[in-house]
Every structure is written in structure tokens, then in C-alpha cells.
Structure 1
């Protein structure tokens, strides 16, 4: 029989953390930085309490871990709502019963980016969507050999626009991985302005989430680190990105650009520079994260699937969730979608 323990991150033992690393290292599907204990540790230290589900098999060996936030009777993946990959950390081929999460006052586990390859969760999956990525093996030349026609065309346009930006605004300067508090503050400022302009909930309204970015930027562990990339034209910060990396995987998390330079499509300029720099950075894949953005569709070389759902024993609650999901998807696909955003947000708070 298995045993399940729920512990605050700072209560984990050396055995727990060693097992976490060993399980992740044994499973190539878990190479995203979201599955590294460094991410959960940074989230917890920034003031967003993380509790970790530790599962032991019948022999007493740790067989799975799952970092979470607890909201009364509900568990959510650590880093929610900005955790772009979620799921238990376990060895390939291992089984994990989601119902083991329930008990001790916990009535549900909600997920919205569950990584494919977790068949034990299938009864609770409500929908699945693609999460695109860019294979950067071989740098820009390698990418162009794999990219779609649209991806190649946009990279070519980015090269020409970079030259134009240099002519009109000054020398182009690209920093692939810099520790710059002022630049990070500007990234957050631009992202908050984008949220306000598009009516999306402001992720950075909460101070702990801003603190998380600073903590990650200053994390320099070879196996896990925050990555701040900036693109300047003369004195102007044209575009920037803050994400995380683990090994050869970079997660594209918070890209921004200065609206004053929107005519140059600066996001593509920045992405081109990152793809070009990938070999010297040791990056072989950039995960773009789930989303309907057109640039992701054009830039991707492949995709994985992530799913949304709720693990619960309540059939009524599950039915309500499925109805909610159907209404949200119908609202998104409707010609009236812009006017229905407020309705969608209200449903999401249920």
C-alpha cells in the first residue's frame, strides 16, 4: 500500500529532495524547469506557500512528488496561475492515482496545464490544448531547416527589421542572459500595461509574484535559473523576455516589447536573437507555452498537449466544471467574444 504525506516545502528532508531530483532525472518528459524543485522553492520563498505531496510505495520508497498550493479544500499546482507545465514527478511507466490527493480536508485538485502522458488523470480531463515549442538544435540555421514557411518568412523579416532599427535608432545590443534589476522592472511594467490594455487579469498585481521574478533572476544554479533577455536599439529597450531554464530547455514565459516600436515586430527580433544564441547557451528547445498567439503558431517546430480538469469525487462538481468549460469555449469562439470577456472571467472565479 502507498502512503501519502503533505508537507510544506521548507519541511522537506534531504531524502525528499534527493528523490525529487532522481525521479525527474529518470524521466525525460519532465525536463521543463517547472518540474525542477528550484521552481517550487523560489515560489515558496517569495511568499506563496507551497505544500508538497510525497508518495511512498509499499516498500517505503518515494515514488512521486507533486508541489501544490492549498486553497482551503482545493489543491492547485505550484506556481498557479502561471505554471505552464504541471503534473506529478515520477519515473517513466509509474502509476499515480490522483484520488490519493483527496483526503485530510482536500476535496479537489484543479489543473490547467497537465502535461500529456499522465493516463491516471484521464477520467478528470475536461479538455486539452497544444503547447508549442521551438527546436533550437543547431541555432538559427538548424531552426530554419525545420521551420514552416511562415516561420522562415518571419525570421527573414526580423533580420531586415533589426537592420532597420539599427539604422534609425542606434546600435543593436542583445543580452541573452543578464542580471539587471532595472530591466526586469521594465519588463514587469510593460507586461502590466499589456494586461490592462487587453483586459486580462494582472498577474503582477500581487507583490509576491513580482518578488518571484527577482528571486528567479538571481538564481544562478547550473541546473535551474531565471533568464532575462534584452534587446536594445541604441538607448532604447525594444523588447525583452523573462523566463526560466533547466538544462537545455528554456521556457518562454513573459515576453514584452515597447509599443513605440510595434511596427518593427520586436518580438520576432528578440526570438531570432535567442534562437541564434541557443548553441552557445546550451539550449536545444524553447517551450513557448500554451496559447492562441499567432506568433507561436508561426514559430513552432512542434507541440505537446496539456490538459485542463479537476480531480474530485463529486460528480455534481465535475458536471458544473464541464458546463463552465463549454460556456467559456463558446464565448471565446463567438463573434461577440470581446464583449463576453467579463462573463468568462466571472465563470472562472466559480
Structure 2
């Protein structure tokens, strides 16, 4: 295992080639640009596997926290796993040793080799935006169509009551990014969720991604204004035709307009001009995701370990969190358990 900045040209080229050959890895989280950006603020180590001929077969970028490895970008990585060719088996136990006792994952794309250590699976919804708004409406569920119709009417209302509505699909605006972070942190505080931005370097990570304008990878900041008011915004990442929905926010003062739906509708409509065909909404059972999705993938949670006792503890914890999640009264408890 070596640091990301120690990878050779051969290894970085293999990363690009293996990812390009595997359609399942089209999320920006699997692009080496994401690992590079994260490594600027938190050390990323990469396990490089080779076959008997010396050819690279997989790369697994991780962070090390004591005796535990976690996928690159943890806990903000909504897709995780090794970069490898389709049909290639991965041997996660080979990551253990030299003081490493476990590999924890919570958004792993299901892959051959991890089955014994998967504790649970959850849906990760997405929106097929091929053909823009018209194409989406042909594929959307009834509730998705209804919410898009309501968003159109609320856009008109916002224009009448607050001022002209202005949407920017991809803007490099540091002040708007600061507003996104401020609104997101307020949302974390209100819901009792862990504040992602409390850790050093994470605001700087978003700033770096905002200014990354590589055609194959970069940050995307979308904003929705009505007159002088920022109604909603979103910061995510894109790679090729895939945009990952990462940090959506809205101003609670204007929640009656459902500005998040207005923003999503505008982004879907702008998809052809942006070259997008899919928006990954990320794991979660939020109501708007259930309504908006046109499909879903599955991500796994678990712990690679040689200790049956540690795996049993992980299963018990996840079971408790799942039970708490089903109750609105216990939702705050679920956040605290997950944070532990």
C-alpha cells in the first residue's frame, strides 16, 4: 500500500483504464481526481494489486484510522470500492495485516469477494435525465411528475412574490459555496446529524473541487435565486455524464415554495446542455428521493475482519440503527449511534 502521491504514471494510467472498462464505476467517486483532491487534506493510501504477470488488476484507495481502513472520502463518499475490471474478484482480506485489523465500508458497490462481510444493503436512488425534462417526465413515477408540475407553478409564484427567478447550472462562485456550507451546517444542527464540515480540511476540499474544471471530473455548483434571495443551491461532483447529488440546501425561510424541487427541476431541464444523463441522489430514504427517482442501485454496509466477534458487534449496531431509523421519535438517536 502506498500514498496517493507516490503512485507511478503506470499505476495512474491503470486506474483510468480499469475504470473506463467498467461501466459500474462511472461515479465521480471512482475517478482518481477525487482521491487526489481528498489527499490534499487527508492522507489517501492505495492498495495496488497485480497478477502473476505483473499487470495491475485493481486499486483500492483508503484512509487509515489506527487499525481500521476506510474508503477514500469517508464519511462523505456515497460510492465506495476497488477500481477493477468487470468480473474481477477482489480479495479484501489481503488488505489486513501490518497493524490493519479491519476495512469498514458503508456505501460499497456490491462486488465479488465482499459477500462474507456485508451486514446490510440499502438503496441508492438515481434520476435518469437523458433527454432533459421531457425525457424524465416520460420515465418518472406519478409522484415525480406531480412534484415537477408543482415546481413549475411554484417557480412562477416565486417570480411574482420575490423577484425574477434565476438559475445557474454550473457556476464558480466562492460566495455561493460559502452559503451552501452555512445552510448545510445549520441543517445538521437542526436535525442532530454529525456536522461533516466540523472536521479540518473539508470546506477546503469543496473549494478545491469547485475550481477543478477538468472535462472528465470536477465540482458543480448550481444556484437558484428569486430576486436577491438564494432559494436553494447544490454542490456536487460530475464525471462524464454522471452528476452526484452531494450537498443540496435550501433557505428555510422560503420552504413553502419547495425550492429544492424547483432546483432539481431546473437541473433536469439543463441536463442535455451540461452533457448529463444521470443524477445519482445518494443512499437514503428521503421522501424527495423516493418521489424523484427513476431507478436505484444498491450499496452495502459492513466490515472486513478476521474477528467474528467484531463482525457480530457491527451487525448488532447496524440492526439498532435500522430500527431507530424507522421511527421519527428515534431518528435523532440513530444519528448519535451512527456517529459513535
Q: TM-score, normalised by structure 1?
A: 0.95
**Cross-structure match for 1:29:** 24
Instruction: Map 1:1-350 to 2 at 5 A.
Output: 6-45=1-40, 47-116=41-110, 118-334=111-327, 336-338=329-331, 340-341=333-334, 345-346=336-337, 348-349=339-340
> Residues of 1 paired with 2:226 and 2:325: CA distance?
37
**Cross-structure match for 1:3:** none
Deviation string 1:166-207 (CA, Å, 9 cap, x unpaired) is 111111111100000000000000000000000001001123
Deviation string 1:135-167 (CA, Å, 9 cap, x unpaired) is 000000000000000000000000000010011
Q: Partner of 2:114: helix, strand, or coil? A: helix
Distance 1:18 1:286, change over 3 A: same
Query: Alpha carbon RMSD of aligned pairs, Å?
Result: 1.1
> Residues of 2 paired with 1:346 and 1:240: CA distance?
29
Between the two proteins, the alignment pairs up a number of residues equal to: 340
Deviation string 1:75-100 (CA, Å, 9 cap, x unpaired) is 00000001000011000111111111
Q: Partner of 1:305: helix, strand, or coil? A: strand
> Residues of 2 paired with 1:91 and 1:9: CA distance?
20
Runs of 4+ in 1 over 6 A off after TM superposition: none
Q: Partner of 1:96: helix, strand, or coil? A: coil
1:340 Cα deviation (Å)?
Answer: 3.1
Structure 1 unaligned blocks of 5 or more: 1-5
> Residues of 2 paired with 1:347 and 1:268: CA distance?
28
> Residues of 2 paired with 1:237 and 1:247: CA distance?
28
> Residues of 1 paired with 2:190 and 2:7: CA distance?
41
1:332 Cα deviation (Å)?
Answer: 2.1
> Residues of 1 paired with 2:124 and 2:64: CA distance?
26
1:334 Cα deviation (Å)?
Answer: 3.9
Structure 2 unaligned blocks of 5 or more: none
Q: Partner of 1:64: helix, strand, or coil? A: strand
> Residues of 2 paired with 1:154 and 1:72: CA distance?
46
Distance 1:268 1:101, change over 3 A: same
Distance 1:40 1:138, change over 3 A: same
> Residues of 2 paired with 1:204 and 1:107: CA distance?
28
